Amino acid sequence: MSDTVAAEPAQRGGPGRRPWPGPGDPYVRVTTEVARCFRVMPRALTSPERRGARETLARHVAMYLLNVVHARPYREIGERFGRHRTSVLYACARIEDRRDDPAFDRKLLRLECSLADSGRGQ
């Protein structure tokens, strides 16, 4: 038996795995708010399975808001959602295009304001 102490993994599941989400984690706030707004389950946003159009739109909005409101890079967002960074880039471009619709733009502005306000209280 060796006297050396094994190094504790810094993250859940060891190296290369994302840490447990904390109370101030923007991913938790964004996915919860977006899921509520689009009336989908939060876990549907990060599911590796293909989902319906409503879940896909909600996931794209969450990715967009994480990039725009929280300035998270595409690579990081992709890792958290189980997608490639180019999928995040595509999602953000689709949401930006949909902002031409005034009703959709208002919905997105409400989400942006809500998330920006909740982020200041941290």
- Measured at the alpha carbon of residue 60, what is the angle toward residues 56 and 63, in degrees to the nearest 5? 140
The answer to whether the CB of 75 falls within 8 A of the CB of 28 is no
Q: In angstroms, what CA-CA distances link 102 with 72, 90, 97, 122?
A: 26, 21, 12, 31
Q: Map tokens 């960074």 to a residue.
A: 85
Phi-psi region of 82 (alpha: psi -120 to 50; beta: other; left: phi over 0): left
Instruction: Please give the pLDDT value at position 10.
Output: 38
DSSP string, 44-56: HHH-SS---HHHH
Residues 35-51 have a mean pLDDT of: 91
Question: Which domains are delineated in the chain?
Answer: 26-120 (1.10.1750.10)
Instruction: Please give the pLDDT value at position 122.
Output: 47
Which candidate, 31, 119, 34, 24, places its Cα nearest to that of 77?
31
14 token code pair: 């060891």
95 token code pair: 């949401």
The answer to whether the CB of 76 falls within 8 A of the CB of 30 is no
Q: Give pLDDT tens digits for 56-107.
A: 999 999 999 999 999 999 999 999 999 999 999 999 999 999 999 999 999 9
Q: Tell me, what amino acid is at 44? A: A
The predicted model scores a pTM of 0.79
